[in-house]
Structure 1
C-alpha cells in the first residue's frame, strides 16, 4: 500500500459510509452526493489495494479488510482529529451522555471522578426520560433501563435501581406527583389517590426540591434518596419499580480513548451510588 496516496478526508468518508451502511445515509452526514462518495470509495480501494466493501442493492457491506480498517481508524480517530483541528477550536473531544434525571444528577455530583480535574473531555449532558438514538449518533453514551437489542450497540450492566418514598420528619403525609412518562410517575398515577397529592410537577427533579422543602413525599430512586441527609424513607421499596441499569454505546465508539475512560468512570460512580 502506498500510504502517500491516502487522504485522511477519504478515510473520514470511509468511516461515514461504513457506519451508515450505504451511500445515501452517509451523504446526509457528510454533505457529499452519493455519486461522489461512491467514486471516492472506489479510489480509496484502488489506492489501498484492498476491497473494502461488498456492494449490493441494500447498501454497502464491509469485507474483512473493511472491518479491519474500520476498527483501526476508530481507535485513532480522536487522536487524528486533535492533531488536524484548528488551534482556535477546543482540543477536548465532545462526548454526549444521555441519562434520566436521577442518573444525570448522580453523575454531576461526581463530576471530578467522571472526567478528572482539569477535565480533558468536553461533556454534554442530555437529561431525557426518552431513549435517544445511539446508532445514528444522537448521543455517544446512554444510560438505559433495558438491555439494548440493536446489533450495533454494546452494553455493560450497572447496579440495580430501586425506588422508595422519602420525606422530611415533619412533612405532610401526601405525595408529590410527577407528570411525566416514566414508570415511577405511572405508579403514582395508579396507586395514589388525588386527595393524597400535595403538589404536581412536570420535572422529576422538582419532586426532590419540594421534599427537601418539607412539602410532601417524593418517590425517589434509593441512590438519590439515601444520600439526602434531610430525608428519610417513609415506606417500603416499591418492588415493581426495581430494574437493572445498562450503560450503552456504539460498538465502534467504545474504542475511542475518551469513551473508554468515561465507561470505566461511569461504571465506578453508578455502582457505588
Structure 2
C-alpha cells in the first residue's frame, strides 16, 4: 500500500458505504452520487492493494480487511472528535441496547472494546428475550433474528448464529432445560419433555449448570466454543440457525454515539 497516494476523502466515503451497506444509501448521507462512490471505492481498493467489498445485487458486503479498516477508522474518528470538541461540551451519551441473554453476555465480555478507551459512550444493556420497541424508543439499538420490516428501522446483518449441545466430560448425559419462550428452549422441550436433570428459567443459568458439570446445555456456538471446559456433545441444530441483525431507528443511526456503538458491536460479533 502506498500511503502517499491515499486520498483521505476516500476513507470518509468508505465509512459511509461500509455503514450503509451499499452505494445508494451511502449517497444519501455522503452527498456523493452512487457512481462517484463506486469509482472512489474501486480506487481505494487499488491504492490499498486489497479487496474491501463483495459486490452483489443487494449491496456491498464487507470483507475481513474492510471490517478491520472500519473499526480502526471509527476509533480515529472518535479521537478526532474528542480532540476538536470543547471539554465543556463533551457529555458522555447513554445508548440503550436490548439483546438476548447470550448476545448480552458476549458483548459484556468486550465492554471496553465497545465503549472505547478512554470511554466515549455509556451503554445501558437490557437483557431480554422479548423484543423491545425501537420506534417508541424503549431502546435505541436492538438485536433481532430477522431483517427489520418497519420502514422506520434500519438494520445491519451480522454473523449467523448456530446452536449445539455442550457439557463437561464428566457430566451426566441428561439435559438442562430452560423454561422460556425461545426457539432453543422450545426445541429442548419438544425433544425431551419433562426428562431433564435440572430446570431453570434464565438461559444464562443453563450455562452456569453446564460449567458445574451438571448436565447438557443447548448453547449458541459463539458462547459454548469459548468455554474451555465445555465440549460439543452433538451436532449443530439446523432448524435453530438464524441470521442476526443489529437494528436502530433510521433517525438515530447517524447520531455519533449510536454509530460508534453499532460499528464496535458489529466488529465484536463479527470476530466470533
Q: Same fold (TM over 0.5)?
A: yes
Give the stretch that moved more between structures: 132-141 or 186-195.
186-195
Question: Structure 1 residue 148: deviation in Å?
Answer: 1.1
Secondary structure class of the residue paired with 1:253: coil
The CA distance in 2 between the partners of 1:93 and 1:271, in whole Å, is 25
Would you say 1:265 and 2:268 are equivalent positions? no
List per-residue Cα deviations over 1:51-73 (Å, max 9, x = no partner): xxxxxxxxxxxxxxxxxxxxxxx
Residue correspondence of structure 1 range 1-273 to structure 2 within 5 A: 91-195=91-195, 197-273=196-272
The CA distance in 2 between the partners of 1:116 and 1:179, in whole Å, is 36
List per-residue Cα deviations over 1:19-45 (Å, max 9, x = no partner): xxxxxxxxxxxxxxxxxxxxxxxxxxx
Give the stretch that moved more between structures: 176-185 or 112-121.
112-121
The CA distance in 2 between the partners of 1:120 and 1:254, in whole Å, is 17
The CA distance in 2 between the partners of 1:215 and 1:99, in whole Å, is 27
The CA distance in 2 between the partners of 1:111 and 1:247, in whole Å, is 17
Secondary structure class of the residue paired with 1:254: coil
Query: Which consecutive aligned stretches of 4+ in structure 1 deviate over 3 angstroms post-superposition?
Result: none
The CA distance in 2 between the partners of 1:242 and 1:209, in whole Å, is 23
Question: With structure 2 as the length reference, what TM-score do the two structures score?
Answer: 0.67
List per-residue Cα deviations over 1:207-234 (Å, max 9, x = no partner): 0000000000000000000000000000
The CA distance in 1 between the partners of 2:111 and 2:205, in whole Å, is 21
The CA distance in 2 between the partners of 1:139 and 1:194, in whole Å, is 36
The CA distance in 1 between the partners of 2:177 and 2:231, in whole Å, is 18
Question: Structure 1 residue 163: deviation in Å?
Answer: 0.2
Secondary structure class of the residue paired with 2:91: coil
The CA distance in 2 between the partners of 1:272 and 1:192, in whole Å, is 33
Secondary structure class of the residue paired with 1:143: strand
The CA distance in 1 between the partners of 2:193 and 2:173, in whole Å, is 12
List per-residue Cα deviations over 1:189-247 (Å, max 9, x = no partner): 1011423x110000000000000000000000000000000000000100000000000
Question: Structure 1 residue 147: deviation in Å?
Answer: 1.2
CA RMSD of aligned residues (A): 1.8
Question: With structure 1 as the length reference, what TM-score do the two structures score?
Answer: 0.66
